[in-house]
Structure 1
Amino acid sequence: MQKVGLVCVVAALCLTEILGISEEMQELIDNLHNTCVGETGASNDMITAARNGDFADDENFKCYFKCLFDQMGCMTDDGKVDLEAVIALLPPEIQDKASSVIMTCTGVGANPCETAWLSHKCFQKGAPDVKMMSREEMPVKMLGFIVVLLVCSFTKVLSLPEEMQELIDTLHRTCVGETGVSEEAIECARKGDFANDGKLGCYMKCLMEQMGCVSDDGIIDEEATIAVLPEEYQAKGEKVITACGTKIGADPCENLLLTNKCWYESAPDDYFLA
C-alpha cells in the first residue's frame, strides 16, 4: 500500500477546534508524523515553529509538507496541490470556512516540495487565528481518514510495512473497544459472511466515523468516501460506492453492515475490512 496515512496532514495543518485524544491515537499520530520526518529528515524544531507562522526556507522541511500531501493523495502527478481534494478530506462542519482559505492558495514553487510548502504557508497565513495543531492536540475525528484505505479501498493488502500494520492495529483496537465486536465476526465478514450482528455493524460505522464519511444517522457520504481513495482506485471504487449508496436497515449500524455487504458482493476479490 503506497499511502501511509491520509491523516498525516493534520500533524502540520488543522482548521478545527482542539480536542483531547487517547493514548492509542497519540501512538497513531506519532507513527504518521515519524514517517514523513524519517523520509525527509525535516527538523522537528522547524515543524514546531511553523505552527506559529515561521516557515523556514529549508529543502528537507519543504519536502516534509510534500510527504504529508502525498500521504493524503492530494499531490497531482505534475507536482501541484489538489486543493479540492484537501477540502474533501476535512470534516463537513469546517469545510466552508476552510475552503475560503484553501482555494486561494494556488502558488507554485520551483519544485513539488516548494509548492507544498507554499500551500501550507498560505493556509496558515489565511487563518492565523486558527493555529496549526501539535500532534498532542489533534482531535480523534481527524485521524480516521486512513481508515478508508483499510475498509473500502478496493485493493488487497498483501504485505504491509511495520508502521502501517501498527496503524491498522491501533484503529482496529479502537473500534473493537468501542463496540465490543468479536474478532470472529470481523474475520467472517472479511470472507463474505456478514452475520446479522449489531456489534459488527457498529464496528463498521465506527471505522467510517473515524474518516468522517458517515452521518450520525448512518448515511454514507459517497463523495467524501470516493475523495479519500487513492487516485488509482477511485474509478473502480466510485462504481461500487455509488451503486451501493447507503443500504437502509433498522438503525445506523445496520446501514453500515448492509452497505459493507453490498461492497463485498460488488467486488469480493478486492474487499478488505480492518
Structure 2
Amino acid sequence: MVKFVVYIVVAVLIACVCCTTLEYKPAKMAECLSEVGVTEDDIKEIPSNDKNKIACFWKCIMEKTGVVSADGVVHPDKVEIAFPEVAPKLPAAVLNEFKTCLGTVGNINSCEDVQKIRSCLKND
C-alpha cells in the first residue's frame, strides 16, 4: 500500500515537473527557454513535437540549478533548489526515494541523457 501511495505522489510530481499547466515554473525557466529556443507552449505540449529541445530544456534547468554539474555529475541534494515549490510538498520518503534513484543514474552529458532521470519517476 505504501508503495502505491509513493507511485501516486511521484505521478503528481511528474505532472508538476512537466509544467503541463505552467502554474508552477521551475527555477531558471525563462533563462532556459531562451537559451534552448523553446516556448512555454512547447513545454506544455504533450507529446512534444521536438522531444530533443524539451530534453535540452530540462538539462538546462538541471545544470542552472546545480542538480547536474557542468561535467554531468548528478547532485541529488540540489533537487529542492531546482523545484522549490514542489519538493517541499512531497512526503520525505518520496523525496528521499527520488534522490536515491538520482544518485544511481550516472552522468548527464547530453540532452538524451535526461531520460535517465525520468526513469526515477516511472512506476516500474
TM-score (norm 1): 0.29
Residue type of the alignment partner of 1:257: Q
SS in 1 for 2:92: helix
**Distance in 2 (alpha carbons) for counterparts of 1:156 and 1:198:** 19
The alpha carbon displacement at 1:245 in A equals: 3.3
Structure 1 counterpart of 2:61: 207
After superposition, residues 30-69 of structure 1 pair within 5 angstroms as none
**Distance in 1 (alpha carbons) for counterparts of 2:108 and 2:97:** 25
After superposition, residues 101-180 of structure 1 pair within 5 angstroms as 154=13, 165=23, 168=25, 171-180=28-37
Residue type of the alignment partner of 1:253: C
Rg: which structure is higher?
1
Is residue 111 of structure 2 the alignment partner of residue 264 of structure 1? no
Structure 2 counterpart of 1:146: none
CA contact (8 A) 2:74 2:103 kept: yes
Residue type of the alignment partner of 1:198: N
Change in CA separation of 1:217 and 1:194 when aligned onto 2, cut-off 3 Å? farther
Deviation per CA, 1:170-199, whole angstroms, max 9, x where unpaired? 8433211111136445532xxxx5888332
**Distance in 1 (alpha carbons) for counterparts of 2:65 and 2:96:** 17
5+ residue gaps, structure 2: 1-11, 17-22
Residue type of the alignment partner of 1:242: T
Residue type of the alignment partner of 2:25: I
Change in CA separation of 1:234 and 1:210 when aligned onto 2, cut-off 3 Å? farther
Structure 2 counterpart of 1:255: 113
Residue type of the alignment partner of 1:179: V
Following TM superposition, the consecutive aligned residue runs of length 4 or more in structure 1 with deviations greater than 4 angstroms are 193-196
**Distance in 2 (alpha carbons) for counterparts of 1:258 and 1:215:** 15
**Bigger shift: residues 207-216 or 237-246:** 237-246
Structure 2 counterpart of 1:239: 97
Percent identity between matched residues is 23
CA contact (8 A) 2:76 2:99 kept: yes
Where relative contact order (Cα < 8 A, 6+ residues apart) is larger, the structure is 2
SS in 2 for 1:154: helix
TM-score (norm 2): 0.54
Change in CA separation of 1:251 and 1:194 when aligned onto 2, cut-off 3 Å? farther
The alpha carbon displacement at 1:248 in A equals: 5.1
Deviation per CA, 1:107-158, whole angstroms, max 9, x where unpaired? xxxxxxxxxxxxxxxxxxxxxxxxxxxxxxxxxxxxxxxxxxxxxx93866x
